[in-house]
Amino acid sequence: MPGLTPFDVVAVAWFFLLTCGYGYATNKGSLSDSGLVRAINQRREEWMVNMAQRENRMVDVQVLANLARGNSFFASTSVLITGALAALFGSVEELQLLAAKFPFLRVTTVFMWQLKTLFLMGIFIYAFFKFAWAYRLAHYTGIMIGATPIATAKNKKQCADHAARAADLAGTVGRHANAGLRAYYFGIATLGWFIHPLVFMITILAVILVVYRREYRSRALAVISSTPGRQTHLDKN
């Protein structure tokens, strides 16, 4: 492959090692039992339990619709970004000539510019499928809310079981949407590859650290996971 150096191969391997490793650790590994995703899932369970006790569930449907609109927005944006990258792929030779005027950009071949563009396209196509599936699952969650039985003294267990299933489905929506957002973060980090493989390796590590801090060391996590009567560090400021 013209222009592909061992440094580029190491950088791509580093990308998959960090992104896949972080995804595994947060979904099935040592980080899966804590963090912002776990805390918000607990709040989803509480939401669905409260929903099952209400006769009028229009508020729940409206909240879900607002959340689904965010997934729809990012899915549409992913399509636009992929289209822009496809157009860029067709004019990569002009881009290479333009990049040659910048001394901080690494001189490489047209093939490598095309490979990097395809790599970016793959990331945003992945993001599109994640957000599109999250949007569809949100639609199914709305149906689950609508199908929740009216709570009575005789069907408390049935309502509780249905609420648990609805919460599980809502959690799946959040998991796929979260994966799509991470793809956006990683796509931004991949822009460093157009400068130099070492920059690419540093930016993806920096993004992983930022994502980790937001999901496991942020103020948002302290607020969401706090219990009534428990003082958070926000209350101390």
Helix boundaries (H) for the chain: 6-27, 36-52, 58-90, 92-99, 110-146, 156-190, 197-216, 219-225, 233-236
Distances, alpha carbon 214 to alpha carbons 49, 50, 143, 207, 222, in Å:
27, 28, 32, 11, 11
List pLDDT tens digits, range 167-184.
999 999 999 999 999 999
Give the Cα separation of 131 and 144 in Å (integer).
20
pLDDT of residue 93: 75
Residues 8-30: what's their mean pLDDT? Answer: 93
Domain map of the chain by residue range?
6-22+35-224
pLDDT digits (tens, 9 = 90+) for 106-158: 677 788 888 999 999 999 999 999 999 999 999 999 999 988 888 787 888 89
Mean per-residue pLDDT, 80-105:
79
Residue 51 near residue 163, CB atoms below 8 Å:
yes
The pLDDT, as a whole number, for residue 168 is 93
Name the pLDDT band for 99 (thresholds 50, 70, 90). low
Contacts of 147 (CB under 8 A, 6+ apart): 162
pLDDT at 227: 55
Residue 124 has what pLDDT?
A: 96
pTM for the full model? 0.87
Q: Kindly state the helix (H) or strand (E) to which residue 4 belongs, with its residue range.
A: none
Instruction: Report residue 37 as tokens.
Output: 């995703």
Residue 236 pLDDT: 46
pLDDT confidence of residue 92: 74
Q: Write down the pLDDT at residue 232.
A: 47
For residue 230, is pLDDT > 50?
no
